[in-house]
Structure 1
Amino acid sequence: MTDFSTEHLKEEAPRSRRRGELITFLVLAFGIWPVVAVAVVGGYGFMVWMYQIVFGPPGPPGV
């Protein structure tokens, strides 16, 4: 009976681990990383906007 129970545990561990890795991948790929990407691009745009408010828009140097 011990052999059967250890074989059963050996088969279940890779399956549950694979499922956990798949769920982790899906959460990262479709949940966290898109939010991080939008935040980075939005943050950069905000910094450029603030820079232009303080120092003026780009253009030829004033004479």
Structure 2
Amino acid sequence: MSEVTTEHLSPEAGKPSRRRELITFFILAFGIWPIVAVGVVGGYGFLVWMFQIVYGPPGPPGH
């Protein structure tokens, strides 16, 4: 078996650049997470809507 060594790599090879980190942050902060948030809230609203279709709206029972 051969051992993995990092001697042949430059010191900067394992570190992501600040520019790349900022790009990744902005993609996550303004792209992916808003889509995930809308999906979660929409999914919850859909579940509540389906529950109310099956069991009726909340409140006291009708007379």
TM-score, with length taken from structure 2? 0.71
For residues 5-53 of structure 1, the C-alpha deviation after alignment (integer angstroms, 9 at most, x for no partner) is xxxx76xx4xx61011000000000000000000000000000000000
| Structure 2 unmatched runs, 5+ | 1-9
Q: Give, in whole Å, the separation in 2 of the partners of 1:17 and 1:39.
A: 31
User: What is the identity percentage for the equivalent residue pairs of Structure 1 and Structure 2?
Assistant: 73
What is the CA distance between 1:62 and its match in structure 2?
Answer: 4.2
| Structure 1 unmatched runs, 5+ | 1-8
TM-score, with length taken from structure 1? 0.71
Structure 1 residue ranges (4+ consecutive) displaced by more than 6 angstroms after TM superposition: none
More helix by share: 1
How big is the alpha-carbon RMSD for the aligned residues of Structure 1 and Structure 2? 1.7
